[in-house]
Amino acid sequence: MTEKNVVQTIHDTLWDAMKDDDRVLILGEDVGARGGVFRATAGFLDEFGERRVIDTPLAESSIVGVAIGMAMHGLLPVAEIQFADFIHPAFDQLVSEAARIRYRTAGDWHCPLVVRAPYGGGVHGALYHSQSIEAFYGHVPGLKVVVPSTPYDVKGLLLAAINDPDPVMFLEHKKTYRLIKGEVPDEPYQVPIGKAEVKREGEDLSVISYGLMLHHSLEAAGRLQEEEGFSAEVVDVRTIAPLDKETILDSVRKTSKALVLYEDNRTYGAGAEISATIAEELMLDMDAPVMRVGGPDIPAMPFATPMEHFYMPDAEHVYQHMKELAKF
């Protein structure tokens, strides 16, 4: 057991995976000599060589497209998209190709691909270094979309993603990279894709969240207990697709109140699907309408600090909503 932050955990997990299995290789922009702009692959080039740590041309569609080809011929590529904001040129490769290869061949071909992408705001990233992209891909059958929030889950889900026979979008909230630390077992283990987890038990309301917002929820839940005496249950979604409805519904069935919290633009965000699921399944169990908190519907978060803060729900903001729902 070692205490690590999120990005160190990604680094070490990839390192171990490459040590264990020479089918695993890494490709992306600046992953080699630079070791990744967030240093997730620092030292990899020296250790594994340029055949396994490929500095690609600056061309996202082919980073994914080439990785698909590798995946179709015996390799387990882990492609890095430098910022999730830049993944859009690869949308066609992900949606038309990776997601459909198994389906369109009735299982004759498949695509064991991992695409890592740092997403999310709160880092002065403005319009093009802050976006949340999980809803675009969560909508696509054939893609798995994971959003781990703790170092423990990062390691377990990354190993699960690399070993998964289907394409997995591995989304890393970049603000958590150095902010969030936790104990990580040294030996390999997997956290199952498609399983949410209750990160804090409670009775009075459920908060369903992921990414940076999960940490705000946990902080606000502690304060709510202390200051108001309400106990909030916090559910970490962990996988956007396929969604673990059971864990979410079990929690809300118990507490009868649900706050769905996400950083993405509110409309059509992943939280909309979660809210709809709760509303459809549990209407008669609810003591309050589902409360949904997301980013405002503006193109992205602006650069200037006051406007960025205005966009991002923070722990205070989350606390106020939790209190309101608890008192409903």
Which active-site residues does the annotation give?
A: 129
Q: Please select the residue that binds other proteins; options are 109, 303, 310, 328, rule is CB under 8 A.
A: 109
| Rounded least distance, CB 138 to other proteins, Å | 14
> Beta strands of the chain (E only): which ranges?
2-5, 24-28, 53-55, 76-80, 114-119, 144-146, 168-173, 181-184, 197-200, 205-209, 232-236, 239-241, 258-265, 291-295
Q: Which residues contact 158 (CB under 8 A, 6 or more apart)?
A: 10, 13, 14, 17, 114, 148, 170
Is 164 a binder of other proteins (CB under 8 A)? yes
| Rounded least distance, CB 89 to other proteins, Å | 7
Residue 263 gets the label, from left (phi > 0), alpha (psi -120 to 50) or beta, of alpha
Q: Please select the residue that binds other proteins; options are 61, 190, 231, 256, rule is CB under 8 A.
A: 61
In three-state secondary structure terms, 175 is coil
Is 25 a binder of other proteins (CB under 8 A)? yes
Rounded Cα distance between 54 and 50, Å, is 6
Is 64 a binder of other proteins (CB under 8 A)? yes
Tokens 């908190």 sit at which residue?
A: 293
| Rounded least distance, CB 3 to other proteins, Å | 31
**Amino acid at site 11:** H
Q: What is the CA radius of gyration of the chain?
A: 19
Is 101 a binder of other proteins (CB under 8 A)? yes
Strands 205-209, 258-265: parallel, antiparallel or unpaired by DSSP?
parallel
| Rounded least distance, CB 98 to other proteins, Å | 10
> How far from the centroid of its chain's Cα atoms is residue 101's Cα?
23
Is 142 a binder of other proteins (CB under 8 A)? yes
Q: Which lies closer to other proteins via its Cβ, residue 51 or residue 299?
A: 51
For 304, counting Cβ atoms within 10 Å of its Cβ (0-12 exposed, 13-18 middle, 19+ buried), the class is exposed
Is 188 a binder of other proteins (CB under 8 A)? no
Is 102 a binder of other proteins (CB under 8 A)? yes
How many residues bind other proteins (CB under 8 A)? The answer is 46
Is 91 a binder of other proteins (CB under 8 A)? no
Is 93 a binder of other proteins (CB under 8 A)? yes
Piece of the chain touching other proteins by CB under 8 A; list 40-48, 63-71, 224-232, 305-313: 63-71
Is 115 a binder of other proteins (CB under 8 A)? no
Q: Please select the residue that binds other proteins; options are 96, 283, 296, 324, rule is CB under 8 A.
A: 96
Interacting residues toward other proteins by CB under 8 A: 25, 51, 56-57, 59, 61-62, 64-77, 89, 92-93, 96-97, 100-110, 112, 141-142, 144, 163-166, 242
